[in-house]
């Protein structure tokens, strides 16, 4: 999920630990497979910052920080990721795929639709994973990277190795969603909201949020595709056999069962390649030639 120590700070809450700022009227735009709901603040011609939320969170994670960036002249775009809020699929026939490279391609498509060549990418949890992938595979689209919870590109091969029991226990919901019981639990509206609140409380024990703050975000989980996206994401990450056969990264820019280009810890450090091998790319854009510097 997200760093327990940083989550309460990430969402930009006020001095009392509760933020009530809300975005104004949201925008919708067709981008790739989706009709993307997004908030936008700041000058249209300002340098672009794209803020990406995690789960179980939504665009309000950035409701307090976005105006601060806008006041400094930035154009801030905060999209609902697939399966959240007002973002929906253009076709009922599209498979509800939630593996990591597909979500990154959603943001590339959004940038194309908004005619944005390059942006500062900022995120946490699933949002930071998405930003990390774009920085790794499409560095020419990334002006700078703010990855709150570090480099989270999933290495499914490494995921096969067990963690210490205490760490495995903290990820109980991933295994829960790998079962039919878990999927049915997530489909239950009350359980879905209760589970999200439980994760907030467990991951951020020092954050004193109120009911209004949670409910403002919880409405994003009522998206009709939310259950399918969440379940597929966790089953894909665990290399659940049926999901592994049905969907791979090869259709979306990453090699099958990719290895993260970033070392997980200093003890296993190795040279970071200048660019991972890519098997497919989206259509060419008007972006300038890639700069061989690290954002």
Q: Is residue 199 part of a domain?
A: yes
Q: DSSP of 38-93, one letter per residue?
A: EEEES-TTSPEEEEE--TT--GGGGTTHHHHHHHTT-EEEEEPPTTSTT-EES-TT
Q: Is residue 89 part of a domain?
A: yes
| Tokens found for residue 189 | 């509206």
Report the domain count for the chain.
1
Strand partners for 77: 40, 50
Q: What is the pLDDT of residues 75-94, one digit of tens each?
A: 999 999 999 999 999 999 99
| Tokens found for residue 210 | 């109120």
Q: DSSP of the chain, one letter per residue?
A: ---TTTHHHHTT--TTS-------S-EEEEETTEEEEEEEES-TTSPEEEEE--TT--GGGGTTHHHHHHHTT-EEEEEPPTTSTT-EES-TTS-----HHHHHHHHHHHHHHTT-S-EEEEESTHHHHHHHHHHHH-GGGEEEEEETT------HHHHTSPPPHHHHHHTHHHHHHTSHHHHHHHHSHHHHHHHHHHHHHHH-TT----HHHHHHHHGGGG-TTHHHHHHHHHHHHTT-HHHHHH--GGGTTS-SSPPPSS-SSGGG--PPPSS---S--PPP-SPPPPP-S--
**CATH code: domain of residue 73:** 3.40.50.1820
Q: Above 50 in pLDDT, residue 45?
A: yes
Q: Is residue 177 part of a domain?
A: yes
Specify the pLDDT at position 159.
86
Q: What is the pLDDT of residues 114-134, one digit of tens each?
A: 999 999 999 999 999 999 999
Average pLDDT over residues 6-12: 37
Q: Is residue 282 part of a domain?
A: no
Q: What is the pLDDT of residues 153-173, one digit of tens each?
A: 999 888 889 999 999 998 899
**Rounded to an integer, what distance in angstroms lies between the CA atom of residue 18 and that of residue 180?**
35
Q: Is residue 99 part of a domain?
A: yes
Average pLDDT over residues 31-55: 97
Specify the pLDDT at position 129.
96
Of residues 171, 183, 107, the one with CA closest to residue 145: 107
Higher pLDDT, 44 or 149: 44
What's this model's pTM, rounded to 2 decimal places? 0.78
**Rounded to an integer, what distance in angstroms lies between the CA atom of residue 112 and that of residue 109?**
5
Q: 20 with 213: CB under 8 angstroms?
A: yes
| pLDDT above 70 as % of the chain | 75
Q: Is residue 154 part of a domain?
A: yes
Q: Is residue 41 part of a domain?
A: yes
Q: Above 90 in pLDDT, residue 24?
A: no
Specify the pLDDT at position 243.
65
Higher pLDDT, 290 or 122: 122
Token pair 């601060």 in the structure block, residue: 68
Of residues 35, 37, 43, the one with CA closest to residue 66: 43
Q: Is residue 285 part of a domain?
A: no
Cα 220 to chain centroid, rounded: 14
What is the domain range of residue 161?
Answer: 7-265
Q: What is the pLDDT of residues 215-249, one digit of tens each?
A: 999 999 999 999 999 999 999 998 887 665 544 44
Q: 73 with 42: CB under 8 angstroms?
A: yes
Q: 87 with 79: CB under 8 angstroms?
A: yes
């Amino acid at each position: 999920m997200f760093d327990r120590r940083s989550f309460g700070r990430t969402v930009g809450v006020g001095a009392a630990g509760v933020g009530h700022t809300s975005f104004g009227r949201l925008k919708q735009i067709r981008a790739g497979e989706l009709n993307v709901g997004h908030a936008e603040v700041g000058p249209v011609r300002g340098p672009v910052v794209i803020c990406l939320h995690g789960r179980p969170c939504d665009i309000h994670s950035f409701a307090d920080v976005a105006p601060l960036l806008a006041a400094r002249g930035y154009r801030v775009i905060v999209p609902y990721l697939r399966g959240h809020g007002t973002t929906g699929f253009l076709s009922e026939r599209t498979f509800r795929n939630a593996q990591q490279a597909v979500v990154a391609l959603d943001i590339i498509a959004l940038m194309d639709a908004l005619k944005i060549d390059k942006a500062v990418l900022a995120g946490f949890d699933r949002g930071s994973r998405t930003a990390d992938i774009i920085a790794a595979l499409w560095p020419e689209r990334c002006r700078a990277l703010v990855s709150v919870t570090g480099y989270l590109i999933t290495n499914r091969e490494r995921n096969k190795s067990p963690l210490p029991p205490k760490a495995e226990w903290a990820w109980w919901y991933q295994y829960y969603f790998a079962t039919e019981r878990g999927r049915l639990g997530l489909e239950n509206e009350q359980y879905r909201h209760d589970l999200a609140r439980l994760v907030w409380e467990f991951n951020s024990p020092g954050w004193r949020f109120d009911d209004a703050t949670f409910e403002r975000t919880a409405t994003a989980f009522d998206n009709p595709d939310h259950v399918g996206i969440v379940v597929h994401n966790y089953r894909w990450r665990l290399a659940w056999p049926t999901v592994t056969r049905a969907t791979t990264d090869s259709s979306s820019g990453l090699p099958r069962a990719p290895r993260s280009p970033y070392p997980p810890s200093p003890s296993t450090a190795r040279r970071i390649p200048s660019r991972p091998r890519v098997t497919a790319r989206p259509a060419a854009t008007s972006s300038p030639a890639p700069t061989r510097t690290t954002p």
